[in-house]
Structure formats: C-alpha cells, structure tokens
Amino acid sequence: MSKARSVVDANGVRYELIELLGRGGQGAVYAVRGGRLAVKLVAGRSQRDRERMRNQLTHVRRLPVGELSLAKPLEMLRPPHTGYVMELLTGMVPIRTLLAPPKGETTGVEWYLRTGGLHRRLLVLARAAHTLAQLHGKGLAYSDPSPANIFISEDPAFAEVWFIDTDNLRYESSPGTFAGVYTPGYGAPELVQGKSGVTTLTDVHAFAVIAFQVLALAHPFIGDFVNEGEPELEEQAFAGMIPWVDDASDDRNRATFGVPRGWVLSTRLSDAFERTFGAGRVTPSERPGAAEWAERLFAAADATIPCPGCRGAFYFNQPRCTWCDAERPTFATAVFHLWDPNQGPAGGVLTKPQRGEARPVIVGHGAVTSTTSFIVTRRLAFDVQGPGADEPVVEASLSRDRVSLRSLDGRTYPLFSASGDRQTEVSDRQQTVRLVLGQASWRLHLGEMGRLHRLLSFELRPGRES
C-alpha cells in the first residue's frame, strides 16, 4: 500500500485514515476520521484486481444479509486504491483474544475467568454459530471464519459478536473457483486438499476449530504428536490426515495441554466436536450444522452457574466448582417445557415416548442461585433468535427455598400450581413460590393457554447431593 493518508470512495467522499486497526494476508483495515467507518485496503492494485473486487462487492451488497451481525462493505474505493469502506465495529476485539493470553501473561485459571470465563465463552460462540446459521440458511457461505474475522465485545461483561471481512461472502463455490480462501489451521480438510470449494460445511469446520480453541485453549489437530513432530506433520494434520486430539478411537495425537475437557465441554458439546473432527474429518456431511452448534452452545451456557467463591461459571451438574473446588451452592434449575392445548381435555405438557414411557419434552433450561438471578430472555421464553433474543422477559431470584418471579417486559403471565387448581399471575409485582424437594413446582405459562407455548417450572437442587 502507498503511504495514503486519505482515500476517496466511488461517490467522491474522502476518508482520512487515522489508525491501522489490523493487517492480514488480504490487506489492512484502517479507522477513518469521523468514528463510525473503517476502510479496508486490499493487496493487489491491478485493474483486474480492482474489477474482481468491484464485482464481488457489488455481489455482496446485493445479498440479503441486512439484519445479520456482519460488518458490510458500503462502497468501493476509487483508484489508485483498491478496497472498500465498511462499518467500524467500536468497542470490539477479535475473538483471538480469547484463544491465548497476551504476551507476558501466563495461561491460567485467573486469565480464563477474567476474560469472561466459561459462560461468556459459550455465549459468544453460540452467537457466532447463530449468525453463521442464519447465513447458511440463506445458502451463503462466509468462506473464511478465523479468530481474526470474528469480533467480540472488548468488555468481558458483554458478549456481542460481529463478523468482519464479509467481502468473501458467496453462495457455495465449486472446487477450485476460490480454493485459496481459508486461514491456515482453520481450513476444512477437503478445502486444504483442494477437493472442495468453500461451503457451509467448511465454515462449520473452521468455526468448530475456533470454538475448541476458545473453550479448551488448544487446537483440535495439534496434539503432542504434531506438536513435537516435523513441521510437515502440521500440514498433514490441517489436511485431516491425522486424528484429532480427542479422537474417540485413535489416541495417536492426544494433547497433554489445554483445559481439561470435562471442565469446559458438556456431553453434547463433546459429541458435536467428535462428529466434526472425528467422522467429519473425512466425511464433511457428518459435521453438525451451525444451527445445531448454536443450539448446543446456548444450552451449555444455560447449564452453568456462577461459583460464589471465584465467580467462575461451571456446569451445574458438577458437584464442585471446577475452577476453585468450592462446594456447589444450593440452586434451582429452571426447566422449560411445551404446553400443548390439544393434549387432553384442557391441554397439557407435551411429551414424547422415551424408553417405553411418555416423558415431558424439555426445550430449554437455566439455573438460579441465591447470588445470581436468572433472567428468562425472549430466546428462552418464546424461542426468538436474532434481534431482541436477549431482551428480558421474567426475572427469577432464589432465597433459601423460595423463588421470586417478576415480569420485566410489562406483561402479565399466568402462574398455576402443579395440580392446576390454583392460579395467580406474575406481573411487575413480585410473586414468590416455595419449592419443595421432590415436588413439582408452580408453572409459569409464557403464552396464551389456548396456544402452544413454553412453560417454566423450577426444581430445588441442594448444593451437596446425597
């Protein structure tokens, strides 16, 4: 790139470049004066490069991705510069900041928790998977998910996720047409081997690598065997020719480093990783899709509780905090079932047969402790995905054996006793329900009784279970 201090877009608007935000193989991104935009200057200044980029940007700008969390290209730059103007993501950093601590700081529990801990990691990954799922739902592949292209909130108290570098968005490509677009270490084996172009399945492979790194702080294909072997082994590993570190049937490439999987992976997440890096290594169609990743990651995040000692989140099915070994506090699980108005004469909880008996369908869960309230979001209450999914609907707080419920969205929700013969309602005035061990709790209906909707019940779980 020339020492440009300013660039001009196709409409003649001049942008003053004030700060280099990042530089990669494809070019460099600069913040521009004015605060809300960035400019990406792309390597390659020939007329052909410019034409190719112009066509691609024109194509991307026509794609139906307006509502997704993607930093979209806004306008091409005029020659002599090649690149485009895009939205600037303020208050965000690449997700690679969760992969390893900065130089000079050692990897450890303290850093892991300080950067948001397990709950935040699961949440940002779930949101990233959700964005990918929405993109895939439109038949589009992102092409190059990498730790530098996914941005998350800089503030660990927040978990916003945006994707940048969306100039590579495309409908699934054929082999060879765009074979070069992947970041080493994140390309799916079939892409690295040149057997396939970018697809939604290569996207989910790259995403799963990032997810494993974010959670376990280890690359799924760099175990001890690869780490200590010849450099060529790494190329082979990235090409899918060596088993992954937690392969269920081949322990050649085990990793003696990284966070113990039992601490950070739920059973369903472990299963998803095995399907991606085990069977999915050679058969891409075995990989879970982005929507399934989103569902499993959200469920995992909902299944954590904060430790009253170290404040780190851990799975509530663990008897002790995985980070500081403190005893698990008493808590209540919040379980979401489906209410089917056509079940029985007056409606009932939707069930499904399982091992010979009808069991209630569980569509979501959460947990409330005496120190942290549980916020029922629109995602949990109404299965809303995308914008507005995190808006609060109901707050539940626990005090000894009592759960207090309060509406946060201005609506009132009916609250029935387990037998259904007593009824009250939850509004912005708090209602308190007593929980008894081994007994079904009152149920909060999150919809009209005559329609299919979710209902919420609680179960008290003592800290130390016999």
Partner 1 sequence: MAFNFAPERPALNFGPRHHARWSSRQFLLWPAWAYRVVAPRVRQRKLNVLQRAIMGLCRAGVPRVDSIAEHLSVHTDLVAFILSELGGLGYLDQHGLPTEHGARVLEDDSFETQEMVAGYVFQDPWSGDLWPRFVESLDYCELEFNESGFPSVLLGTTGKPRRYRTFPVLPRARLSPSTPSAAAVVQAVAQHRKGLRFKDADDRDDETLGNFVASGVQISRVSFVEEEPQAVFLLTYLYVPESDAGATDWYACDPFGLGQSVRLRRRVEAVMHDVPGLFGVVNQLVGETLHAGYENQQRWLATIQLQAGLEIDRRLTVGFRTHRAFDQMLELEAARQEMRSLGRDCPERKINEVLRAGVKVLEAVFSSIAVTHPLGDIWKRVYVSRVDRRTGRQHLAQQQDRSVYAATYEGAFRSLGFAAPIPEAFLNVKPGQVRSVSEYRDSWRLRPLVTATALLAQRDPTHPLSRAAARSPDLIGAIDEIADAGGGAGHANADSVAPQLAEQHADKVYDVVSVLLDLDEARSDSPRESTGGSHEYE
Site residues, partner 1 (CB under 8 A): 88-93, 151-155, 158, 160, 162, 387-388, 391
Nearer to partner 1, 89 or 181 (CB): 89
Nearer to partner 1, 162 or 273 (CB): 162
- Tell me the closest approach of the beta carbon of residue 378 to partner 1, in angstroms: 10
- Tell me the closest approach of the beta carbon of residue 87 to partner 1, in angstroms: 8
Nearer to partner 1, 57 or 89 (CB): 89
Nearer to partner 1, 51 or 154 (CB): 154
- Tell me the closest approach of the beta carbon of residue 94 to partner 1, in angstroms: 11
Nearer to partner 1, 19 or 155 (CB): 155
Nearer to partner 1, 134 or 276 (CB): 134
- Tell me the closest approach of the beta carbon of residue 10 to partner 1, in angstroms: 19
Contact residues for 294 (Cβ-Cβ < 8 A; gap 6+): 126, 127, 129, 130, 132, 133, 385
Omega before 80 within 30 of 0, i.e. cis: yes
- Tell me the closest approach of the beta carbon of residue 15 to partner 1, in angstroms: 14
- Tell me the closest approach of the beta carbon of residue 329 to partner 1, in angstroms: 29
- Which residue matches tokens 């895939």? 136
Closest to 445 measured CA to CA, from 385, 387, 393, 386: 393
Nearer to partner 1, 361 or 452 (CB): 452
- Tell me the closest approach of the beta carbon of residue 160 to partner 1, in angstroms: 5
* CA dist 52 → 24, 57, 80, 139 (Å): 19, 9, 15, 22
Nearer to partner 1, 388 or 420 (CB): 388
Tokens linked to 276: 């991606």
- Tell me the closest approach of the beta carbon of residue 325 to partner 1, in angstroms: 33
